[in-house]
């Protein structure tokens, strides 16, 4: 009976369920990706690190440590890495890059992917460099050309395509250049105060357990402020990052599935409404409630199963695309295999959720009276608010969502938080959508023409799915608009940095004896030296007498580890800059007597993190010399400006003799002049590095557009689900639309009038959905800008308008495509054809 009854509606029912297809496809594809990633990381674990153990620090290793390393056995390789300007003579250009001087046979596992492939090995044999592909592309340089790093010119031996264990996204933050270690000294870039990381990489004997070794070495490593990394720790760390990525994607996919679920509920609701007569007749003929309910339940489940299977099949195809979308963010080579577990997971989740959502409208079948077959127009539907089963079903849906979220997050609190967030998000969307539709209806000018009023009125036709469509389309719009607005806000923040005579070029790693010459060079370009700042690196040794290594182990101290372990780059001066405000205490301008207490000025956030107040004692380790200080004042710093700012500011008369380097700040005003200055500086002072605004902008744009691409890919699922729901709703209401159009045509409406009414209806639908999504996106991005990025919200009006127009255009297009053929033929012919 269920099969026979569905005969005339199968295609329509299939469309209902296709709204869950994309959600299931997303889940299957992402779960599959997650499992393939886990398998790849397991298989390529050692390649991720390239060694069994890596130990690194900010100082050359002490003789005691060198002796220790030698005693560990196995094979060793060395790396010294730092940031430096790389000069391309042809065409003349400079760029800040991460230079890695290497010795030994690292990587011990896996290999550098280069072009030509042999370059990965041969570059070590002479004065050669391996240069990241992106950098070569930027300067249109080729293998065989030369680059200059410091005082040494290297021949480009090969293009660096991939480094084991590092994702291509790493290159966004700074392109990498590898040189042989033996030429490092000649570059003269390793000087006192330079920011350098020294690493030793080990291939241990097979019977040595790297993690146990690290545990044993812990006291020495801590004493010498060295960090260690093993295959297990690298895998753990990468696994966490990738898990966050796949979790995020999975949750977005799940949102698409939820939207689809609501779409199914809405469509089945309309379907049942259209079936009221048939159900009442069945009841008249003696069918029990159980039987009529069963007929439609079986229909729904069969179609849901088909939808889930379609979704799973689509998911299997999509998973082959995901590595391409995410390629830059993945540190391992992926081989995508069909994950049966992911397939089963996706199908069960999709089938379960769509069945639960479909049951909601199906429940009303139990209340349909046989009397309806006699008096269909006047039979009131029983009130469903007191239906206990319905409330149980709501509870089951909430529990299902929570269970899914908990499984994803592997954390009950986060799972509950996600469920609550979904509730709030949908509640807000529904609330805003309802508010907007009511406002439009209430304040719509009554003197506007009939077609406008009728187009609007159509949104309220009986059994309308307006709210559902606003939810589905609004959510997609919200995701995409938020993405654009956040991107615009962040880029605007960078752009503002260089506006209005603000500095836009920072030269750093300037040695004290070079400072005046560099300043003169800047002035020779008629540019001002806006700031000349000394920088001294130091670490925090103790707070109020408690050593930081003790505080690190004390979980009750509540001080973040990074604040205790970090290398503080501090400066000294006798006044505040115009981006600083004194909040408490007094600035000690200069210490005049050696016995006078050193009063440092702390930035307010770091003071809060370190849990210190005015008068507290901080002891700093300035490259081996312990320096006791007290907190003399607290400052607020505007970090948005492109000028050196510091967590810790010392008075004059303390650090002048410490190893230091200088930073010079100027404003070039345009990218061309900035590049010329950098070239001149690097040619004359190869150890000096530069960061300019254009570089920051380019980097930010590259990273943001890569991230945006991934999010857009996921947002596509929501938007497309929204469109499928829209198509379903339009097709469901096609019969009503035809009746209305035929009536209007009968009453004498012209073709263009009927088309205009339909277009206006879809315009309102798309417009209200876009407005709903955009309002929430503006609110969301404002909150992100205010509370997360702590910057001014930049309302990107043009992209937002384009998105809104796109959503409206798509809605109208889809609506009109589904309504075609209604207005071209004589009214009676249309009625006969559709009967």
Considering the rule CB under 8 A, would residue 438 count as an interface residue with another protein?
A: no
How many angstroms separate the CA atoms of 81 and 100, rounded? 4
Q: Tell me if 12 contacts another protein by CB under 8 A.
A: no
CB of 739 to another protein, least distance (A): 8
Least spacing, CB of residue 749 vs another protein, in Å: 5
Where does this chain touch another protein (CB under 8 A) — which range of 3-11, 428-436, 770-778, 820-828? 820-828
If one asks whether residue 834 binds another protein (CB under 8 A), the answer comes out as no
Strand partners, 179: 101
461 scored as a contact of another protein (CB under 8 A): yes
The helix/strand/coil state of 99 is: strand
Is position 524 an interface residue for another protein (rule: CB under 8 A)?
A: no
State the Cα–Cα distance between residues 407 and 345, nearest whole angstrom: 11
Query: Which residues lie across from 80 on neighbouring strands?
Result: 101, 198
The reply to whether 832 sits near another protein by the rule CB under 8 A is: yes
Q: Total number of residues binding another protein (CB under 8 A)?
A: 31
Shortest gap between Cβ of 741 and another protein (angstroms)?
A: 11
The encoded tokens of residue 490 equal: 């962040």
> Shortest gap between Cβ of 748 and another protein (angstroms)?
2
Contact criterion met (CB below 8 Å) for 718 and 261: no
Q: How far apart are CA 599 and CA 632, in angstroms?
A: 4
Check binding of 469 to another protein (CB under 8 A): no
Q: Are 543 and 618 in contact (CB under 8 A)?
A: yes
**Mutual orientation of helices 276-284 and 231-274 as an angle, nearest 10°?**
70
Kindly indicate which of the ranges 271-279, 287-295, 383-391, 445-453 contains the residues binding another protein, using the contact rule CB under 8 A.
Answer: 445-453
Least distance (Å) between residue 458 CB and another protein: 6
Which of the stretches 148-156, 292-300, 446-454, 572-580 binds another protein when contact is defined by CB under 8 A? 446-454
d(CA 352, CA 404): 11
Candidates 743, 797, 802, 813; binder of another protein (CB under 8 A) is 743
56 binds another protein (CB under 8 A): no
Assess 829 for contact with another protein (CB under 8 A).
yes
Please, which of residues 747-806 interact with another protein by CB under 8 A?
747-753
Asked whether position 827 contacts another protein by CB under 8 A, the answer is yes
Task: Confirm or reject binding of residue 453 to another protein (CB under 8 A).
Answer: yes
Q: In the block, which residue shows the tokens 């429940």?
A: 363
Measured from the CB of residue 829, what is the shortest distance to another protein in angstroms? 6
- CA distances from residue 557 to 219, 546, 551, 605 in whole angstroms, order as listed: 21, 11, 6, 17
Using CB under 8 A, which of 3, 444, 460, 735 touches another protein?
460
746 binds another protein (CB under 8 A): yes
> Which of the stretches 133-141, 296-304, 447-455, 765-773 binds another protein when contact is defined by CB under 8 A?
447-455
* C-alpha atoms less than 13 angstroms from C-alpha of 335 in its C-beta half-sphere: 6
- Give the up-direction half-sphere exposure of residue 303: CA atoms within 13 A in the CB hemisphere: 27
Nearer to another protein, 318 or 744 (CB): 744
The answer to whether 205 contacts another protein (rule: CB under 8 A) is no
**377: contact with another protein by CB under 8 A:** yes
Using DSSP's 3-state secondary structure scheme, residue 648 falls into strand
Q: Segment contacting another protein (CB under 8 A): 290-298, 646-654, 792-800, 825-833?
A: 825-833
At residue 598, the 3 state secondary structure works out as coil
Please name the residue ranges forming H helices in 531-639. 548-553, 561-565, 604-610
User: Which range, of 444-452, 690-698, 727-735, 775-783, touches another protein by CB under 8 A?
Assistant: 444-452
Q: Which residues have a Cβ under 8 Å from the Cβ of 813 and sit 6 or more positions away?
A: none
- Name which of residues 702 to 741 contact another protein (CB under 8 A): 739-740
Task: Give 733-787 as a DSSP string.
Answer: THHHHHHHHHHHHHTT--HHHHHHHHHHHHHHHHHHHHHHHHHHHHHHHHHIIII
672 touches another protein (CB under 8 A): no
Closest approach, Cβ 745 to another protein, in A, equals: 6
Cβ distance to another protein smaller for residue 487 or 745 = 745
Site string for another protein, 247-276 (x = CB under 8 A): ------------------------------
In the block, tokens 């469920």 appear at 419
Return d(Cα 757, Cα 452) in angstroms, integer: 7
Give the phi and the psi of residue 563 in degrees, each rounded to 5.
-70, -25
Residues 6+ apart with CB under 8 A from 559: 543, 551, 609, 610, 611
Stretch binding another protein (CB under 8 A), from 87-95, 326-334, 563-571, 744-752: 744-752
With a CB cutoff of 8 Å and minimum separation 6, the contacts of 732 are: 12, 267, 270, 271, 465
* Cβ-based nearer residue to another protein, 47 or 755: 755
- Residue 824 within binding range of another protein, rule CB under 8 A: yes
> Does 445 sit near another protein (CB under 8 A)?
no
Distance CA 459, CA 742 (A): 18
- Footprint of another protein on this chain (CB under 8 A)? 377, 447, 449-450, 453-454, 457-458, 460-462, 739-740, 743-753, 824-829, 832
């Amino acid at each position: 009976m269920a099969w026979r009854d569905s005969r005339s509606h199968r295609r329509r029912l299939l469309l209902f369920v296709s709204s869950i297809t994309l959600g299931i496809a997303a889940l299957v594809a992402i779960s599959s990706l997650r499992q393939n990633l886990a398998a790849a990381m397991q298989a390529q674990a050692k390649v991720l690190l390239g060694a069994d153990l890596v130990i690194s620090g900010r100082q050359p290793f002490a003789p005691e440590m060198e002796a220790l390393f030698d005693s560990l056995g196995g094979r060793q390789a060395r790396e010294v890495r730092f940031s430096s300007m790389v000069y391309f003579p042809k065409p003349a250009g400079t760029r800040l890059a991460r230079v890695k001087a290497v010795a030994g046979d690292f990587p011990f596992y896996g290999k550098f992917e280069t072009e030509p492939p042999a370059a990965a090995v041969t570059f070590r044999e002479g004065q050669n460099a391996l240069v990241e592909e992106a950098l070569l592309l930027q300067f249109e340089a080729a293998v065989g050309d030369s680059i200059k790093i410091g005082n040494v010119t290297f021949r480009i031996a090969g293009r660096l395509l991939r480094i084991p264990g590092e994702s291509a996204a790493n290159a966004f933050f700074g392109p990498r250049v590898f040189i042989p270690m033996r030429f490092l000294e000649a570059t003269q870039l390793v000087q006192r105060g330079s920011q350098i990381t020294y690493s030793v990489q080990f291939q241990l004997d097979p019977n040595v357990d790297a993690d146990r070794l690290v545990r044993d070495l812990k006291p020495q490593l801590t004493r010498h402020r060295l960090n260690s990394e093993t295959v297990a720790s690298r895998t753990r760390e990468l696994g966490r990052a990738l898990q966050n990525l796949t979790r995020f994607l999975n949750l977005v996919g799940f949102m698409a599935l939820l939207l689809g679920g609501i779409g199914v509920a809405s469509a089945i609701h309309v379907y049942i409404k259209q079936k009221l007569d048939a159900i009442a007749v069945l009841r008249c003929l003696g069918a029990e409630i159980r039987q009529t309910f069963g007929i439609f339940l079986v229909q729904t489940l069969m179609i849901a199963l088909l939808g889930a299977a379609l979704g799973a099949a689509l998911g299997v195809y999509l998973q082959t695309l995901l590595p391409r979308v995410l390629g830059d963010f993945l540190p391992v080579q992926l081989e995508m295999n069909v994950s049966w577990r992911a397939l089963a997971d996706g199908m069960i989740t999709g089938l379960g959720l769509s069945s639960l959502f479909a049951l909601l409208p199906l429940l009303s079948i139990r209340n349909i009276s046989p009397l309806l077959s006699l008096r269909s127009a006047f039979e009131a539907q029983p009130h469903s608010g007191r239906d206990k089963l319905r409330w149980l079903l709501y509870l089951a849906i909430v529990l299902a969502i929570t269970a899914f979220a908990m499984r994803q997050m592997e954390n009950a609190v986060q799972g509950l938080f996600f469920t609550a967030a979904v509730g709030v998000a949908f509640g807000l969307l529904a609330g805003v959508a309802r508010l907007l539709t009511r406002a439009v209806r209430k304040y719509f000018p009554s003197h506007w023409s009939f077609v406008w009023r009728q187009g609007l009125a159509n949104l309220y036709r009986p059994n309308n799915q307006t709210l559902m469509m606003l939810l589905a389309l609004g959510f997609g719009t919200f995701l995409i608009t938020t993405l654009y607005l956040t991107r615009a806000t962040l880029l605007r923040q960078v752009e503002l940095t260089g506006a209005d005579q603000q500095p836009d070029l920072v030269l750093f790693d300037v040695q004290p004896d070079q400072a005046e010459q560099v300043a003169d060079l800047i002035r020779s370009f008629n540019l001002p030296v806006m700031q000349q700042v000394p920088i001294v690196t130091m670490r925090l040794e103790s707070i109020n007498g408690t050593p930081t290594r003790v505080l690190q182990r004390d979980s009750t101290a509540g001080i973040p580890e990074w604040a205790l372990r970090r290398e503080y780059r501090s400066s000294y001066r006798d006044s505040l800059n115009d981006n600083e405000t004194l909040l408490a205490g007094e600035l000690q301008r200069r210490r005049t007597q050696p016995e006078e207490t050193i009063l440092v000025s702390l930035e307010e956030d770091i003071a809060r993190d370190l849990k210190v107040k005015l008068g507290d004692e901080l002891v700093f380790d300035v490259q081996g010399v312990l320096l006791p200080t007290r907190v003399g004042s607290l400052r607020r710093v505007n970090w948005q400006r492109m000028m050196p700012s510091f967590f810790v500011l010392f008075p004059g008369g303390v650090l002048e003799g410490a190893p230091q380097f200088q930073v010079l700040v100027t404003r070039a005003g345009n990218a061309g002049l900035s590049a010329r200055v950098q070239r001149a500086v690097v040619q004359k002072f190869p150890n000096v590095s530069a960061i300019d605004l254009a570089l920051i902008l380019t980097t930010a744009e590259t990273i943001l557009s890569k991230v945006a691409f991934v999010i857009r890919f996921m947002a596509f699922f929501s938007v497309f689900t929204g469109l499928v729901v829209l198509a379903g709703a339009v097709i469901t209401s096609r019969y009503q639309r035809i009746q209305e159009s035929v009536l209007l045509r009968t009453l004498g409406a012209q073709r263009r009038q009927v088309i205009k009414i339909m277009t206006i209806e879809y315009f309102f639908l798309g417009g209200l959905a876009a407005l709903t999504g955009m309002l929430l996106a503006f609110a969301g991005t404002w909150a992100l800008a205010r509370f997360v990025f702590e910057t001014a919200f930049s309302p990107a009006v043009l992209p937002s308008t384009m998105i809104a127009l796109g959503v409206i255009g798509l809605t109208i297009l889809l609506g009109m495509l589904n309504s075609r053929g209604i207005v071209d033929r004589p009214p009676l012919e249309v009625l006969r054809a559709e009967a």
